[in-house]
Amino acid sequence: MNSRLSLNNSGNIFSVAVLLVLIVAAYSNTLDAAWHFDDLPNILDNENVHVSTLSLKALSSSIHSPFAYPGNEKPKLYRPVAMLTFAINWYLGRDGVLGYHLVNIGIHCATAVMLYFTILGMLGARNVRGNFQGSERTIAFLATAFWALHPIQTQAVTYIVQRMASLATFFYVVSIYFYVRGRSASSPGKRVSSYLLCLLGFVLALGTKQNTVTLPAALLLVELVFYSDLRFLRKAKGRWIASSLAVVLVLFVLLGLYLWSDEPLSRIVRGYDIRPFNLSERVLTEFRVLVLYLKQIVYPIPQQFSIIHDVGLSTSLLSPWTTLASIVLIAGLIIGAIATLSKYRLLSFGILFYFLGHSVESTVFPLELVFEHRNYLPTLFLFLPLASGLVALMAGYRRQNRLIHGLLAVFVAALIFGIGFATYVRNAAWATEKTIWQDAMQKAPALARPHQGLALALENENRLDPALELYEKALTLEDPSPKLSRFISLSNMGNIYKKKGEYVRAASYLTAALDYDTGPYMRRIRYNLVLCLLNSNGEKAALNQIDVLLGQYSRNVKYMSTKGFILFLQGRFNQAEAYLKSALERNPGDNLALVNLAMVLSATGRQERADQYLQRAGKRDPKNIVIYLGLLQNAVKMQDRVKTDRYLHQLTAVFTIDQIERFFNAYEKGYRYIDGRLVPLSGRTIFPRLAAYLKEQANRIDGASAVRM
């Protein structure tokens, strides 16, 4: 391998070390940054990645869909490489954010190192070799530093779930690196091994995120810019070869689409059914979005960046007028880059690669309009011409004016530290759910989503009334996805009223939210509705809702156990027992099923067996008051005075009088879901005995106090 591309070179060691120090410094305040937004369905609420062992079966389940859609009991592969890394993170540290951030920063560092060596290889290619007067390493360092330290990358690095974007880019640049190395290999063996590693990088990139399907086109661009004699395109043979390559690229894109979906074209069309824009509106709007990205890149102050941007739709070329202006600007950049490809190779390459990198996520696919992490891959080489220009400028003044040369060197250093500091400041906004949404609300006050995000953060702090006010406000505001927006506000308001104990009102909001079908998010809302109905004398309605859930997720143990619980409340003991036993067959350690089945057994005269189930559940959850009360109720039914006294003593030893009274006050109101637990008890059996015991204890304490006095 060329020594210039090796870490054995002392200059490369120094450059890489400085790069890593700068990156770690810029991201040093992110190690405890909270979970955000899509982290929840993809990681926190995704049972597929919650592995407890590194067995082949557990890891195999992790590489499937991030959440099970209705009717999709066996989902297809979903970004398997990225999901596998989340599963390993979960195994090592569960929901602690530190491990995830360390991996994300590590991926960013590794990508920067590979980018540095890739640029070094490109600058040694035959079409540009000798143009830089020995400054290749400086150019590679600056281009990589500008890319790695730019605040537009924070969303791909600090936002945990966007490891999908950063890891895909790592494999993408690895593939380009090995292509460049293969083009400069000194032997056929090294060339073949490099191209095989290039292919492996492509496969891993595709397995991480689908937008990497553009890699063959990127390699063609690398070939044209750095290795090919562009004059051949003027000949008929050259045009024929170029046309053939274009056809091959189209076939690769179609292959990528097929891997993404069995019916790619119909999926694209169907995707717009859930969006507030159509295909033409999205394509027109994306021209303005691309200009927004370029503005952020050119003027990278923290005020430019947000998790949400207020970008209105373009409904025609002149509505708004900036649509046509953006199209003209982008077309001018692309045409200019093509026209000057042989003269300004680095500039043309950076521009063409940037727009190629956006060709998937910023065109026809029915994705949300704006996300900053989409720039992580496209900007890989965008700073290469800037770095080259700065180095050439400094080299010119080194001979002409040492003072200006020194000032330029200081300016470049200040520029690196400046964008690094901007990244550090931007990263501070990602610290908590509250800070990221406060930041977004300041920058997009007319949108509903920042209000909803901040409301959720306040709800998590138990500031329920201010959160309700924000949700009410959000219902009056615009949002790029109005259907989803109303669903979020209504469902979260229902959850807040559930927390406040206003179950009838909560059920009304949750029922209203069900009118807005938002796919996998519906299951949580429907289950919360079940719990609220149980606390508002709606057992029949609750059973109907749990049946809907089981119709969609027939293998879900929690739903099976809950149906068994409702059937128990209705006195349908045989049916309840069947459901609960099925749940335990799927998960023998499910405490909800264990407790509910124990109470079914107790109600049907099998108290000894019920006691065994409850004891087993108690070992798994020793702070569960329902288990202690269940043991007590079962002992009373058995007329076992010894066990009754033992469980009374255990109950009052583990829980305070206030906790017990609060629980029974809720039970007396008819609640069957108390403090996060379903309650399969019979108050008539245990209330009198427990009340008498508490009275005895109180009299004993009073008597002892009187003696001491």
| Domains of the chain (ranges, CATH numbers) | 3-35+95-421 (no CATH), 595-709 (1.25.40)
Q: What is the pLDDT of residue 278?
A: 85
Q: What is the pLDDT of residue 640?
A: 87
Tokens of 637: 């039914």
Percentage of the chain modeled with pLDDT above 90: 54
Longest dimension (CA), the chain: 113
Q: What is the pLDDT of residue 47?
A: 82
Residue type, 297: I
Region 625-637: mean pLDDT is 88
Region 183-189: mean pLDDT is 87
Instruction: Tell me: pLDDT of 361 over 60.
Output: yes
Quote the CA–CA distance of 213 and 597 in Å, as a whole number: 51
Instruction: Tell me: pLDDT of 251 over 60.
Output: no
Instruction: Tell me: pLDDT of 696 over 70.
Output: yes
Tokens of 399: 């001979």
Q: How far out from the chain centre does Cα 382 lie? A: 26
Region 540-564: mean pLDDT is 91
More confident residue, 451 or 40: 451
Region 67-91: mean pLDDT is 73
Determine which of 377-391, 481-495, 501-515 has the lowest per-residue pLDDT on average: 481-495
More confident residue, 229 or 615: 615
Determine which of 72-86, 165-179, 279-293, 339-353 has the lowest per-residue pLDDT on average: 72-86
Q: Is the Cβ–Cβ distance between 155 and 162 less than 8 Å?
A: yes
Tens digit of pLDDT for each residue in 17-63? 999 999 999 999 999 999 998 888 889 888 888 888 888 888 888 88
Q: Give the residue carrying structure tokens 């090592």.
A: 92
Quote the CA–CA distance of 407 and 386 in Å, as a whole number: 17
Q: How far is CA 126 from CA 155, 173, 548, in A?
A: 36, 20, 65
Q: Is the Cβ–Cβ distance between 142 and 184 less than 8 Å?
A: no
CA dihedral 454, 460, 462, 468 (to 10 degrees): 40
Q: What is the pLDDT of residue 668?
A: 84
Region 118-137: mean pLDDT is 89
Instruction: Tell me: pLDDT of 395 over 80.
Output: yes
Instruction: Tell me: pLDDT of 520 over 70.
Output: no
Q: How far is CA 595 from CA 562, 592, 679, in A?
A: 11, 5, 9
Whether residue 320 has a cis bond before it, omega within 30° of 0: yes
Instruction: Tell me: pLDDT of 296 over 90.
Output: yes
Q: What is the pLDDT of residue 40?
A: 86
Q: What is the pLDDT of residue 479?
A: 76
Q: What is the pLDDT of residue 709?
A: 41
Radius of gyration (Cα) for the chain, nearest Å?
31
Q: What is the pLDDT of residue 6?
A: 59
More confident residue, 537 or 385: 385
Q: What is the pLDDT of residue 523?
A: 84
Determine which of 92-106, 172-186, 375-389, 671-685 has the lowest per-residue pLDDT on average: 671-685
Quote the CA–CA distance of 142 and 123 in Å, as a whole number: 13
Region 103-123: mean pLDDT is 97
Percentage of the chain modeled with pLDDT above 70: 88
Q: What is the pLDDT of residue 69?
A: 44
Q: Pairing between strand 673-674 and 677-678?
A: antiparallel
Task: Work out the burial of residue 7: count CB atoms within 10 Å of its CB; fewer than 13 is exposed, 13-18 middle, 19 or more buried.
Answer: exposed
Strands (E) across 387-487 are located at none
- Which pTM was predicted? 0.80
The pLDDT-based confidence of 66 (bands split at 50, 70, 90) is low
Q: What is the pLDDT of residue 705?
A: 43
Instruction: Tell me: pLDDT of 249 over 60.
Output: no
Region 412-430: mean pLDDT is 95
Q: What is the mean pLDDT of the chain?
A: 87
More confident residue, 393 or 251: 393
Q: What is the pLDDT of residue 38?
A: 86
H, E, C per residue of 177-234: HHHHHHHCCCCHHHHHHHHHHHHHHHHHHHCCCHHHHHHHHHHHHHHHHHCCCHHHHH
Task: Work out the burial of residue 315: count CB atoms within 10 Å of its CB; fewer than 13 is exposed, 13-18 middle, 19 or more buried.
Answer: middle
Q: Give the residue carrying structure tokens 């020995």.
A: 134
Q: What is the pLDDT of residue 366?
A: 84
Tens digit of pLDDT for each residue in 454-498? 999 999 889 999 999 999 999 998 777 778 888 889 999 999 999
Region 429-455: mean pLDDT is 93
The pLDDT-based confidence of 196 (bands split at 50, 70, 90) is very high
Quote the CA–CA distance of 672 and 688 in Å, as a whole number: 19
The pLDDT-based confidence of 262 (bands split at 50, 70, 90) is very low
